Amino acid sequence: MPYLGSAIPGAVEPASWLEGSNCQRFSYGLLSLFGVHCPPFRSSELWGDTEATKAVGSPQPLDLVLYNRDADSYGAHVGVWMVEDEILHLCAEVGRPVVWSAAEFAKRARYSTRVGYSEPSSASRLP
């Protein structure tokens, strides 16, 4: 699956997130494979939401992780926490899904600050 910056949440082209996605669309598509639904939020909408998601202090598998160059959620990069210090994400730098540790994110100025973790709430889990 290729990184495609224009394939933001809610985009109609490409039709499937599997054909190309930005980080958010990829993360939400991945969650859907596990029966977890997240509305098509951009990162600042995701971080500001309190109905479909909630901020948590300690991540669990399938929680979302936001990174940015500072603590601002606007324009933050989104990945999915898999297991201890393994975050699956899609970024332009690599161009395909990749797993990085927190240390890998910290090496890059644009991802040097972890904004936080967000858990899709039980209300957003599919039956």
* CB 10, CB 30: distance < 8 Å: no
Q: Give the class (CATH, top level) of 17-122.
A: alpha beta
Q: What is the structure's pLDDT at 121?
A: 75
The total of other beta-carbon atoms located within 10 Å of residue 12's CB is 6
Segment 35-85, tens digit of pLDDT: 999 999 999 999 999 999 999 999 999 999 999 999 999 999 999 999 999
Higher pLDDT, 89 or 123: 89
Q: Mean pLDDT over residues 7-16, rounded?
A: 94
